[in-house]
Structure 1
Amino acid sequence: MPRAFNKDMKTAIIAPIGTSPPVITAGIDALDEPVSDLVLLATKDEQVLAGCDVVKLGLKSRYPRIRVHVELLPFDDISSDVENLTFMAIAARVIKKERESYGCERILLNVAGGRKNMCITLALLGQLLNVDGVYHIVNHEVKLFNQHLERMRPTMMRLFRAEKEEDKIMIYADNREMFEYILYPPKNEYELIRIPTLPYPVSYISSLLSRVVFDPYMLNEEDCSLLLHHGILERQGNNLYISDYGAKFLDVLVGKG
């Protein structure tokens, strides 16, 4: 079950990022609890990468202790089952790495940025991997907010194209007031919404996977019916076996994808 917040715990936020970087920084600002790590799931689109640079500098200015890492995705959008499973595998590895390599006891997902299908997939994966919360952000003045953001877009791209880190820092510093206005809007202008999730106990998932892989005939009738209905298992006569899709999906869940 989700772990209760403890101020001594390390907390990681994992977030797809699109062309609106403020949803990342505003989400951290609204969370009102210490965050130790931020992992941005980013495509190679230049506007997205420019947003990553701005988020890094914006957090360095206000939350200098947060470690920021960018995980580059091998596509601009999910357009097939294969790409969706690839995205799930990358996200699952990131969650595992934050827990095991960086010692983060709490994992939170911010699904307010990035492509819609990535965010949906990430939220569902979070339940299966027992993350501690899934959040979305709603801005009360979307049109006005977007106008301010687009006004800063040329400066963001100039910052991104600067070759030296010190030049990036200087561009941010010269425009700090406007950058921080869009990155950290007043908290009464938006809502941080917790998406209801029902986490699956690790023991249940482990037991289910073991039965599916090694002896599907040990599954109870309900589990077997659901797995058949969702294409994880297939039946041929009296024989049960894992489908190709099911095998790839299970690889994601056990960290082999």
Structure 2
Amino acid sequence: MGSLLICTVGTTPMVVSEVFWYLRNTDEKLFDVSLIFTDDEEIKAGVNAVIGAIRSRYGNIRFHRHMIRYQDITDNDSLKDFLRVFVNAIGDARNHGSDRIYLNVTGGRKIQGIVMSMYAGLAGISKVYNVINKDVRNYNENFEKIKDEIMKDFRDVDEKTATERYRKDEKLYDPVFYPDPESLSYIELPVISLPRDEIEMLKRLLNGIPIEDSGVLDSTIDAYVKSGLIFKDKSRVYPEELGEIIRDLLQ
């Protein structure tokens, strides 16, 4: 059994290595990292750079890439698409037998962090983190100095090459990807988890069941209807499209 860290990656990829660094110091079973990122050349180069940064110090880490084809969540369709990607990232933990899942909501778009945090309890996530660099001025200046180098060194490379290039210039990159720990502040956000019997009841609703003799209170059904997870007629409840995605999350 082990642990897995899920991160969205945006224009500041160093938040991934910062949170991984922090967690690995307390959890030696953290071997898997799932990265969610957009199809943008600068961001993909940043993904390769942070993989190189982590692999330069922890050579046995497995990375799982999940690329999304749009730049932001702008409507219900892109929201649902993003949730499907998130479900796939949760699947990485199940496929590798991870019994503890961490979520880093620092990177990526704000709406992505909000959405993942909302469903963290249903996804079985143990802890949600946000990292803040208190030395903002140096943080920005140091990153601006290496942005062009990241594009040059880490664009369209495999993990082995990314690690080699990071190690070659680690004096240049380390101050950004592994800054002074005193400058970092880690905030652990609470995860609200539903009881197991509530999860099982929700799974039944999301599979579609007759209302009569279901044993589920009308007020509970109405609450999940309002949440957009199910709809009902006079005799049955049925999953909405969002509910079908959440049903996969609960497997």
| TM-score under structure 2 length normalisation | 0.88
Cα-to-partner distance string for 1:149-193 (whole Å, 9 max, x where unaligned): 111000000012366777655542342112111111121111111
Correspondence 1:83 to 2:101: no
Cα-to-partner distance string for 1:91-141 (whole Å, 9 max, x where unaligned): 112212321x21111111111100111111111121112211111111112
Q: 2:152 — aligned with what?
A: 158
Correspondence 1:12 to 2:27: no
Q: 1:106 — aligned with what?
A: 100
Residue in structure 2 matching 1:25, options 17, 20, 42: 17
**Which runs of no fewer than 5 residues in structure 1 stay unpaired?**
1-8
Q: 2:172 — aligned with what?
A: 178
Partners of 2:70 and 2:54 in 1: how far apart?
26
How far apart are residue 234 of structure 1 and its match?
Answer: 4.5
Residue in structure 1 matching 2:59, options 57, 61, 64: 64
Partners of 1:62 and 1:187 in 2: how far apart?
16
Q: Structure 2: which amino acid aligns with 1:251?
A: E
How far apart are residue 69 of structure 1 and its match?
Answer: 2.0
Instruction: Give the 5 Å matches for 1:1-257.
Output: 9-31=1-23, 32=25, 33-34=27-28, 35-99=30-94, 101-161=95-155, 168-169=162-163, 171-211=165-205, 213-217=208-212, 218=214, 219-234=216-231, 241-242=237-238, 247-255=240-248
- CA pair 104-231 structure 1, distance change in 2 beyond 3 A: closer
Partners of 2:180 and 2:142 in 1: how far apart?
14
Q: Structure 2: which amino acid aligns with 1:193?
A: I
Q: Percent identity?
A: 23
Q: Is the 8 A contact 2:126 2:191 kept in 1?
A: no
Q: 1:3 — aligned with what?
A: none
Aligned-residue CA RMSD (Å): 2.2
Q: Structure 2: which amino acid aligns with 1:14?
A: I
- CA pair 235-251 structure 1, distance change in 2 beyond 3 A: closer
Which 10-residue stretch deviates more, 202-211 or 138-147?
202-211
Partners of 2:71 and 2:79 in 1: how far apart?
12
How far apart are residue 26 of structure 1 and its match?
Answer: 0.6
Report the count of equivalent residues: 243
| TM-score under structure 1 length normalisation | 0.86
Cα-to-partner distance string for 1:174-216 (whole Å, 9 max, x where unaligned): 4211211111112111111110111123432221231352124
